[in-house]
Amino acid sequence: MAESVYKVIQLVGTSNESWEKAAAATIEQASQTLRDLRVARIVEQDIHIEPGKSLTYRVKMELSFKYEEGT
């Protein structure tokens, strides 16, 4: 098997419904511009609170994809 190299980036996604939807939305958005996504790791979860407004679920994730020269 040939050796491979992967690049890791950090993204933050949000949802007014759940952490799961925030994570899914982040991956879906990233997949529109990044190829060959491999692993997503949730680093942190939190909830943004503003009085009188709905809660905002946030996930900070590390997302890896296969590195190709020039990317």
- 10-residue mean pLDDT series, the chain (71 residues): 85 97 97 92 97 96 87 54
The pLDDT assigned to 48 comes to 96
The domain 6-66: what is its CATH number?
3.30.1660.10
**pTM here?**
0.82
The tokens 């994730």 sit on which residue? 61
Based on its alpha-carbon atoms, the radius of gyration of the chain, rounded to whole angstroms, reads 15
Contact between 58 and 46 under an 8 Å Cβ cutoff? The reply is: yes
CA distances to 18, 45, 58 from 48, rounded to whole Å, are 12, 10, 7
CA distances to 33, 36, 48, 63, 71 from 30, rounded to whole Å, are 6, 11, 22, 9, 14
